[in-house]
Amino acid sequence: MSEDRKVPALPVPKPRARSNRKMLIFLILFFITVLVVLFFQSSLSRISQIEIEGNELIAPDVIEQASQVAVGDRFFAASSSAIAARVAKLPMIQHADVDKHFPGLLKITVQEFPKVAFQLTADGKKQAVLADGAVTTLPPGTSIPLDMPILTGWDDSNPNKAALCKALGEIPQSALSDVSEIKPEPSESYPDKIKLYTRSQYEVITTIAYLPDKIDSLPGYIASLQEQHISNGVITLLEAEYHTPYETVPDDAKSDAKTTPKPTPKNTPKNTPKP
């Protein structure tokens, strides 16, 4: 056979790997799309349970209504931060946290403003007063704690009441355990002046502005008076601190002296009971 005669080479087919890869990607995307559609149409994508924790004074249905979500709503429709912000706008709510636990559990945890005092309505109903000034009526039969003050003579429209509640919220409850009652005693010199009645039989004159700083010195002041066998009188905690015995006031003027002590001049050195 002649060397010039050769068998022609067979054509080499082109690889189809790229085409198969495109088909595979298309199928994967198709099945993912189907699964996503099926998921959002199933109960797994819905809120199946709402848990509310931390509430004592505000009803759970009020919190749920403020959250603007309900069982059956889409689980991923609203963010946790948006729900928490709506709940935190409620009176009596100081802070709110929202956690989502798949599948379907929405957990709302609230922190209410602390109770700082109590008050009685004209018809005798007991109400708790919170640090934000909000008021809530207590269930019948609920007793008022003995270590918390009662507010008397306060109008809900009085701006000083809200300021007082805020100040009380900044004071440890243990520092107020001897205070049984707080009433307004405004004067020209001190529009926010208040009178506190203590369970140890003293009357305390101060102001809302001075209260957070002055209340810390009150137990020591009372202890000093008791060491001197002084068991009652008016304690004034303003620019200066002093004690006025009841017996030094004439009987016909005693009531006026108790309720309207003269304000202490500014820059007066602090007077303390002699040991």
Q: How many CB atoms lie within 10 A of CB 23?
A: 11
| pLDDT above 60: residue 11 | yes
**How does strand 233-237 pair with strand 202-207?**
parallel
Q: Would the CATH topology of 46-112 be identical to that of 130-259?
A: no
Contact 198, 204 (CB under 8 A): yes
In this prediction, residue 117 has a pLDDT band, given cuts at 50, 70 and 90, of very high
| pLDDT above 60: residue 263 | no
Q: If one looks up domain 130-259 in CATH, what number appears? A: 3.40.50.10960
- pLDDT tens for each residue of 120-175: 998 889 999 999 999 999 888 888 888 899 999 998 888 899 999 999 999 998 89
Contact 141, 173 (CB under 8 A): no
Q: Determine the average pLDDT of the residues in 48-69.
A: 93
Higher pLDDT, 196 or 36: 196
| Radius of gyration for the alpha carbons in the chain, expressed in angstroms and rounded | 36
- pLDDT tens for each residue of 77-104: 889 999 999 999 998 999 999 999 988 8
| pLDDT above 80: residue 235 | yes
Q: Which one-letter amino acid corresponds to residue 25?
A: I
Integer Cα distance of 209 and 238 in angstroms: 10
Strand partners, 130: 115
Q: Exposed, middle or buried, 65 (CB in 10 Å: 0-12/13-18/19+)?
A: middle
At residue 14, the pLDDT reads 59
Integer Cα distance of 227 and 234 in angstroms: 16
At residue 3, the pLDDT reads 56
- Which DSSP letter does residue 247 get? G
In this prediction, residue 273 has a pLDDT band, given cuts at 50, 70 and 90, of very low
At residue 13, the pLDDT reads 61
Question: Considering only CA atoms, which of 238, 239, 258 is closest in space to residue 248?
Answer: 258
In this prediction, residue 27 has a pLDDT band, given cuts at 50, 70 and 90, of confident
Q: Where are the domains of the chain?
A: 46-112, 130-259
Specify the 3-state DSSP secondary structure of 53: strand
| pLDDT above 80: residue 177 | yes
Question: Considering only CA atoms, which of 217, 212, 208, 256 is closest in space to residue 240?
Answer: 217
Matching CATH number, 46-112, of 3.20.20.80, 3.40.50.720, 3.40.980.10, 3.10.20.310: 3.10.20.310
Integer Cα distance of 232 and 222 in angstroms: 9
In this prediction, residue 233 has a pLDDT band, given cuts at 50, 70 and 90, of very high
Any residues with CB less than 8 A from the CB of 89 and at least 6 apart, and which?
Answer: 66
At residue 10, the pLDDT reads 59
In this prediction, residue 210 has a pLDDT band, given cuts at 50, 70 and 90, of very high
Integer Cα distance of 18 and 40 in angstroms: 33
Specify the 3-state DSSP secondary structure of 11: coil
In this prediction, residue 17 has a pLDDT band, given cuts at 50, 70 and 90, of low
Q: What is the mean pLDDT of the chain?
A: 83
At residue 275, the pLDDT reads 36
Dig out the tokens for 141 from the structure: 């039969």
